[in-house]
Amino acid sequence: MAAERLAAPLGFALLTALVAARFGPLMRWDAAVSDAALRFAKAHGGWRSAMSAITHTADTAVLLCLLLAAVLFTLWRRDWRGLAFVLGAAVTATVLRLTVLALVHRPRPPERLTATSGWAFPSGHTTSSAIAAGLLVVVLWPLLPNRVARTAVVAVAALWAALVGISRVALTAHWPTDVLGGWLLAGSVLAALGLFRRAARPRN
């Protein structure tokens, strides 16, 4: 179990080091996948439109609305540990991501099919949507009546976060490793805060 909890942070640390060092094989793989994604999107307008619609579901305005809804919901339920988890995950992920962005300062792909700004690694849309998906599961979990409902919520949340990450590569807004880094960063934050949440649980 300890090894599983460390998988995401160790993976993120290793990937960050390789990206910061501009590790040749990784950079060439990123470029090859990104070039293929660009050619495919240009040749298939329907795919490009679908990916654009998906990517905009993780725009800052949308995610801020989801965060506000989660905060208000936990306040309404007087779920103070849930509120701490929601705010802690949002703030921690944002601070870590911006710090790594500034330290790695990786340029984005040269030709992009959607509006972008700032450095590339790790992907902001990917990180934020994965954090939002995790928070959705945490907030709704106690209210779901059975295993089927819980499985459905987890599946939908995970699928959405995965599609947002894929859309960032499909629209060449990010390199593939930017997206992988976003997933690993979000997983690290959620896992770490999950441990604190369990540790703070009242004991009978």
41 touches 113 (CB < 8 A)? yes
Q: pLDDT tens, 21-41?
A: 999 999 999 999 999 999 999
pLDDT at 114: 93
- Cα(22)–Cα(24) distance, rounded to whole angstroms? 6
pLDDT at 203: 52
In this predicted structure, the answer to whether residue 141 has a pLDDT above a threshold of 90 is: no
pLDDT at 126: 97
Question: What global pTM score does this model have?
Answer: 0.91
Give every CB contact of residue 190 below 8 A, 6+ residues apart in sequence. 89, 130, 131, 134
Structure tokens at 43: 């040749």
Q: Please report, rounded to a whole number, the percentage of residues in the chain having pLDDT higher than 90.
A: 79
Can you tell me the mean pLDDT for 87-96? 94
Q: pLDDT tens, 4-19?
A: 678 889 999 999 999 9
pLDDT at 142: 84
Using the Cα atoms of residue 109, residue 190, residue 132 and residue 87 in order, give the sign of their dihedral: negative
CA-wise closest residue to 88 among 196, 178, 10, 184 = 196
- Asked whether the bond before 122 is cis by omega within 30 degrees of 0, the reply is yes
From residue 4, give the alpha-carbon distance in Å to each of 9, 64, 104, 188.
Answer: 10, 30, 26, 11
Q: pLDDT tens, 159-180?
A: 999 999 999 999 999 999 999 9
Task: Decide which of 24 and 138 is more confident.
Answer: 24
